[in-house]
């Protein structure tokens, strides 16, 4: 979203909020050189326009018992809207699927799945193939998380 209504101060506010959304308005105001009311208005405007979609708590997946991350690449048996809608419904019904993307290239979709162990992954896999047909399913187990962030670059705003 490249919108002239957002400026460098908005970028700085977003950088702060992406690091910690609980930072008090007074502290954000001090850090960006404004008073509290204009900062509050800017944040509300960013929320109203959808630039800020949500404020959430990031949970440590190991501490909640799902230390294993698996990436599943699938190829659809046919490219049809009906199949895509069935796939969307299926992944919405499986809480272990925490992210999913439609891709270009030889893999049509990729999913990020978090589970406690291989047995649970196998159960997720069986739920997938029981409810929908796939041409191929390829899984890769993450050995180590090298970088994880939910923050996106704001310099293009």
**What are the pLDDT digits (tens) for 88-128?**
999 999 999 999 999 999 999 999 999 999 999 999 999 99
Asked whether the whole model's pTM tops 0.85, one would answer yes
Angle between helices 81-92 and 118-131 (to 10 degrees): 150
Strand order, beta sheet including 136-141: 97-102, 109-115, 68-75, 136-141
pLDDT at position 15 over 80:
yes
- Percent of the chain having pLDDT more than 90? 96
User: What's the pLDDT score for residue 49?
Assistant: 95
pLDDT at 1 over 50: no
Domains for the chain: give ranges and CATH numbers. Answer: 8-48 (1.10.10.10), 68-141 (3.30.70.920)
Please give the Cα distance from 121 to 48 (Å, whole number). 39
Number of residues that make up the chain: 157
Locate all alpha helices (DSSP H) within 20-131, ordered by sequence: 25-32, 36-48, 81-92, 118-131
Summarize pLDDT for 62-99 with one digit per residue, the tens.
999 999 999 999 999 999 999 999 999 999 999 999 99
* Helical spans, DSSP H, in the chain: 8-19, 25-32, 36-48, 81-92, 118-131
- Angle at CA 89, nearest 5°, toward 74 and 108? 20
pLDDT tens digit string along 129-142? 999 999 999 999 99
Q: In this structure, are residues 110 and 100 in contact, taking their beta carbons and an 8 Å threshold?
A: yes
Nearest to 148 by CA among 103, 104, 108, 114: 114
For residue 102, give every residue at least 6 positions away whose Cβ sits within 8 Å of its Cβ, in sequence order, or none.
Answer: 84, 108, 109
User: What is the model's pLDDT at position 4?
Assistant: 53
Residue 5 has a pLDDT of 85
């Amino acid at each position: 979203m490249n919108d002239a209504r957002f400026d460098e101060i908005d970028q700085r506010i977003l950088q702060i909020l992406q690091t910690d959304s609980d930072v008090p308005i007074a502290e954000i105001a001090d850090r960006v050189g404004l008073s509290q009311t204009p900062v509050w208005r800017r944040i509300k405007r960013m929320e109203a326009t959808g630039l800020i979609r949500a404020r959430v708590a990031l949970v440590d997946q190991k501490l909640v018992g799902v230390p294993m991350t698996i990436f599943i690449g699938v190829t659809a048996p046919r490219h049809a809207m009906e199949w895509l809608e069935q796939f969307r419904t299926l992944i919405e019904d499986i809480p272990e699927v925490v992210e999913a993307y439609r891709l270009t290239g030889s893999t049509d979709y990729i999913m990020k799945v978090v589970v406690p162990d291989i047995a649970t992954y196998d159960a997720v896999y069986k739920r997938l193939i029981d409810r929908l047909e796939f041409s191929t399913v390829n899984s890769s187990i993450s050995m180590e998380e090298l970088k994880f962030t939910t923050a996106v670059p704001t310099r293009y705003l």
